[in-house]
């Protein structure tokens, strides 16, 4: 070990393979054999009655099997990364590169300005030389409320940053920090704590009040020239570019209350005009890239959503290890952190965390060099994000990149930046195609990451034990499903586009990475076999059509083995990754619900989009809910409440399986022979499990809070399920 340690001392990060890979591969092979036997059985034993249903079962199992093979690629080659930030400090403390941080917001109602500035403040107070740090807020809402909040934050930062650094407080998002129980025993700390808390609460009150009123009073407007940009004609969808450098960090007077330098702070709202496609978050990121290049031009960019605050003040240094390692760092294009959330309850009722995805799958895809860019919590090398190919001979020294702030006044810089954020700037350029984030897809992040990899760069996935960023997860089923619909739709569009990893990535990225991408890109079509599996076996039970081998037959073995092995494996994997037993159970439910609603609609909409009948849209995930709803979320009670068509599907499936299981049990109890029971055990198991998973759905039929299933949905689902029962099975 000592010899190794010596050699390792030169590295700024190391990559370790996961343990037990061989055992996993053998295990995976046995499941594969089981799957192949199932396919074989379906082909060999086609029955006379229920022939079509049988073929449907075969097609479903074929799709499940192929999809399963893709998911194995994400587990085949799992690697874990470890940066050594103390080595970075020893070697490069005086050569640290400048870092530009981009925060995106889009709507002052769905994304309250007080939340947005908490994120901004958390990154302004990173443990990093402030003269090398710049924070840019892109406001697609074009709202003076957000601008006002940022102005308030810039003032508050003068107290907040020194307070954080003096007492080394964490987390550095004031909203998250003051929401915790903080031990204020030390008298000096207690005093300053109370002061800063009052300052924060006053500020928050002023901001929230302004948001409530929907406008800014004239005395406030007189305090900053920036408000002049908002005249009566400015609306969210129609306004000129607004660039306001709120703190010019290179100015010697930009200091906090203790006289330390402040990071640069810039407000940007790119031009919006009716008739111009603005390309959602990708468009705003590209405007940010250009505007920041005119001002601070840092070689490293951190990209965050407005709700993702920095939880660990040392994250920048960790990430830099991956860029500055002498041996491999020059090839690193981006460093992606997993999406973690601040508001997760114990058993994660909507399965927002995806424990196994974060800990195993993404690390497995990283093993093949295919780390996904997930849109937030990601450090980029500006060069690679701007469309450059990787080349060994041309390596930019990170600390030598120059900024453009010399000899220019703030006003002049602002004027120079505005055209860069104009609608027509990108016309006839490579922006959105070869440069910056790629346009035309609701998951701009994933496509962009793929194109960067195909240009020869090697991204890194890093999942530290202390979460680097914490965001806000959806707290209602509705919002969670809409988010998944946007994702699965965008992902499936990639599969159909010229960016399909098997074509676009052919010869450029590893086959394992291409397959790894497909684990996500194929979410939408996997809805079809799932839908089949939750409906047809149940109907078979009702109409006496057996669809599986008898329990005593040898053919039953592969079914039982594949089912048990996959289930136990996924349970163990979830538990190892930190989920609870109940959390895993909730995940199974969400897995069915997502596949039969979000993914299904995404599939349908993608086909419509493919035929050219619709345009890309982006529904922003809401980040606030009322107290009543929040309480139910905290008690892990599923929230329905509205009569969404997705809920109708969920309820119908639940009712149908309950009917059919009831019928099946009746048949067993009253009369039919033991022989028959044997034939139907697999189908009864499927319906039985679905009924168990759906217990919270049945409960929602009878609850009488505002989150229960509306009676219209209850009746609809019973009606549709009854109709389905009449459907004959061929």
Ligand X SMILES: O=c1ccn([C@@H]2O[C@H](COP(=O)(O)OP(=O)(O)O[C@H]3O[C@H](CO)[C@@H](O)[C@H](O)[C@H]3O)[C@@H](O)[C@H]2O)c(=O)[nH]1
Q: Which is nearer to ligand X, 479 or 587 (CB)?
A: 479
Which listed option, ligand X, Mn ion, none, makes contact with residue 140 (CB within 5 to 8 Å by class)?
ligand X
Instruction: Indicate which of ligand X, Mn ion, none lies near residue 483 (CB less than 5 to 8 Å, by partner kind).
Output: ligand X
Least Å from the CB of residue 644 to ligand X: 18
**147 vs 548, beta carbon nearer ligand X:** 147
Q: How far is the CB of 451 from ligand X (least distance, A)?
A: 15
Pick the catalytic residue: 100, 139, 140, 348? 140
Q: Looking at beta carbons only, is 445 or 579 nearer to ligand X?
A: 445
- Which residue matches tokens 């990121």? 285
In this structure, are residues 616 and 610 in contact, taking their beta carbons and an 8 Å threshold? no
Decide: is 105 part of the binding site for Mn ion (CB under 5 A): no
Could you give the angle at the alpha carbon of 566 between the alpha carbons of 561 and 568, nearest 5°? Answer: 95
366: annotated binding-site residue? no
In the set 248, 312, 325, 445, the catalytic residue is: 445
Residues that bind ligand X (CB under 6 A): 104-106, 111, 138, 140, 280-281, 284, 305-306, 375-376, 442-443, 445, 483, 486-487, 490, 618, 620-621
Binding partner of residue 281 among Mn ion, ligand X, none, CB under 5 to 8 Å per kind? Answer: ligand X
Asked whether the beta carbons of 374 and 459 are under 8 A apart, the reply is: no
Q: How far is the CB of 440 from ligand X (least distance, A)?
A: 13
Which residue, 87 or 272, has its beta carbon nearer to ligand X? Answer: 272
Half-sphere exposure of 429 (CA within 13 A, CB side): 16
Residue ranges in 275-334 that form contacts with Mn ion under rule CB under 5 A = 305
| Residue 305 is labelled as binding a ligand | yes
Interaction partner, residue 123 (ligand X, Mn ion, none; CB < 5-8 Å by kind): none
> Is the peptide bond between 243 and the residue preceding it cis, with omega within 30 degrees of 0?
no
CA–CA distance, 211 with 107 (Å, rounded to integer): 11
380 three-class SS: strand
Closest to 269 in 3D by CA, of 148, 421, 121: 421
Q: Are 609 and 616 in contact (CB under 8 A)?
A: yes
- The question of whether 325 is a catalytic residue gets the answer no
The CA distance from 243 to 413, in Å, is 9
Q: Which is nearer to ligand X, 108 or 558 (CB)?
A: 108
> In 3-state terms, what secondary structure has residue 15?
strand
Six-digit token string for 590: 């969400």
CB of 443 to ligand X, least distance (A): 5
Whole-Å CA distances, 460 to 133, 284, 454: 22, 24, 14
Number of residues that bind Mn ion (CB under 5 A): 2
CB of 118 to Mn ion, least distance (A): 14
Compare residues 116 and 288 and give the one whose CB is closer to Mn ion: 116
- The candidate with the shortest Cα–Cα distance to 398, out of 42, 27, 12, 688, is 12
Closest CA relative to residue 595, chosen from 497, 515, 522: 522
What is the distance between the alpha carbons of residues 367 and 361, in angstroms, rounded to a whole number? 10
192 is in an annotated binding site: no
Please name the residues in contact with 5: beta carbons below 8 A apart, sequence gap of 6 or more: none
For residue 281, the minimal CB distance to Mn ion (Å) is: 10
Q: Is 100 one of the catalytic residues?
A: no
Taking a C-beta distance cutoff of 8 angstroms, is the pair 540, 547 a contact?
yes
Residue 534's binding partner, choosing from Mn ion, ligand X, none, with beta-carbon cut-off 5 to 8 A by kind? Answer: none
**599-628 mask for Mn ion (x: CB under 5 A)?**
----------------------x-------
The C-alpha atoms of residue 689 and residue 95 are separated, in whole angstroms, by 59
Q: Which residues are annotated as a binding site for Mn(2+)?
A: 281, 305
Which residues does the annotation mark as catalytic?
Answer: 140, 445
Q: Which residues are annotated as a binding site?
A: 111, 140, 281, 305
Instruction: Give contact residues for Mn ion (rule: CB under 5 A).
Output: 305, 621
């Amino acid at each position: 070990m000592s010899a190794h340690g010596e050699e390792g001392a030169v590295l700024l990060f190391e990559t370790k393979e996961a343990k037990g890979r061989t055992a996993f591969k053998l295990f995976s092979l046995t499941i594969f054999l089981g799957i192949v036997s199932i396919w074989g059985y379906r082909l060999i034993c086609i029955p006379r009655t229920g022939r079509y249903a049988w073929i449907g079962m075969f097609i479903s199992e074929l799709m499940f099997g192929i999809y399963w093979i893709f998911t194995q690629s994400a587990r085949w080659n799992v690697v874990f990364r470890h940066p050594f930030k103390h080595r970075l400090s020893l070697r490069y403390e005086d050569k640290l590169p400048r870092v530009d941080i981009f925060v995106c917001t889009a709507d002052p109602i769905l994304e309250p300005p007080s939340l947005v500035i908490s994120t901004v403040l958390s990154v302004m107070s990173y443990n990093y030389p402030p003269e090398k740090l710049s924070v840019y807020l892109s406001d697609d809402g074009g709202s003076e409320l957000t601008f006002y909040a940022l102005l308030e934050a810039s003032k508050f930062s003068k107290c907040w940053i020194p307070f954080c650094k003096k007492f080394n407080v964490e987390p550095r998002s004031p909203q998250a920090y003051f929401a915790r129980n903080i031990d204020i025993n030390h008298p000096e700390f207690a005093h300053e704590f109370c002061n800063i808390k009052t300052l924060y609460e006053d500020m928050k009150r002023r901001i929230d009040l302004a948001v409530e009123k929907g406008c800014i009073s004239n005395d406030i407007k007189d305090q900053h020239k920036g408000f002049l940009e908002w005249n009566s004609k400015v609306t969210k969808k129609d306004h000129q570019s607004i660039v306001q450098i709120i703190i010019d960090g290179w100015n010697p007077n930009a200091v906090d209350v203790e006289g330390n330098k402040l990071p640069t702070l810039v407000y940007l709202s790119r031009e919006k005009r009716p008739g111009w496609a603005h390309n959602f978050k990708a468009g705003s990121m590209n405007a940010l890239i250009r505007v920041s290049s005119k001002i601070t031009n840092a070689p490293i960019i951190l990209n965050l959503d407005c709700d993702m605050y920095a939880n660990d003040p040392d994250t920048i240094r960790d990430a830099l290890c991956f860029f500055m390692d002498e041996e491999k760092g020059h090839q690193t294009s981006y460093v992606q952190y997993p999406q973690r959330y601040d508001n997760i309850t114990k058993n994660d009722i909507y399965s927002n965390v995806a424990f196994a995805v974060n800990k195993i799958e993404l690390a497995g895809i990283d093993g093949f060099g295919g780390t996904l860019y997930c849109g937030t919590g990601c450090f980029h090398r500006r060069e690679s994000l701007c469309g450059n190919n990787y080349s060994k001979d041309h390596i930019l020294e990170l600390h030598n990149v120059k900024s453009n702030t010399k000899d220019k006044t703030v006003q002049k810089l602002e004027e120079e930046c505005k055209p860069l954020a104009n609608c027509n700037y990108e016309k006839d350029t490579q922006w959105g195609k070869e440069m910056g984030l790629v346009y035309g897809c609701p998951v701009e992040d994933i496509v962009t990451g793929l194109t960067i990899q195909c240009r020869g760069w090697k991204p890194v996935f890093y999942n530290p034990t202390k979460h680097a960023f914490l965001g806000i997860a959806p707290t209602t089923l509705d919002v969670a499903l809409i988010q998944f619909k946007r994702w699965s739709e965008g992902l499936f569009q990639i599969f159909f586009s010229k960016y399909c990893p098997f074509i676009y990535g052919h010869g450029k990225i590893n086959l394992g990475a291409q397959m790894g991408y497909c684990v996500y890109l194929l979410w939408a079509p996997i809805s079809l076999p799932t839908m089949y599996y939750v409906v047809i076996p149940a109907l078979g039970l009702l109409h006496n059509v057996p669809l599986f081998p008898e329990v005593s037959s040898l053919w039953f073995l592969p079914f039982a083995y594949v089912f048990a092995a996959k289930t136990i494996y996924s349970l163990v994997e979830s538990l190892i990754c930190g989920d609870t037993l109940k959390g895993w159970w909730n995940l199974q439910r969400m897995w069915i619900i997502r596949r039969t609603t979000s993914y299904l609609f995404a599939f349908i909409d993608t086909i419509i989009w493919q035929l050219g009948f619709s345009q890309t849209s982006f529904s922003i995930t809401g980040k606030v809910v009322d107290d009543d709803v929040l309480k139910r979320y905290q008690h892990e009670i599923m929230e329905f409440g509205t009569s969404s068509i997705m809920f109708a599907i969920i309820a119908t499936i639940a009712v149908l399986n309950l009917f059919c299981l009831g019928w099946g049990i009746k048949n067993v109890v009253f009369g039919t022979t033991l022989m028959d029971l044997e034939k139907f055990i697999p189908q009864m198991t499927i319906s039985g499990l679905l009924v168990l998973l759906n217990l919270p759905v049945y409960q929602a039929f009878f609850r009488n809070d505002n989150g229960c299933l509306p009676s219209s949905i209850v009746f609809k689902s019973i009606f549709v399920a009854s109709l389905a029962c009449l459907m004959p099975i061929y």
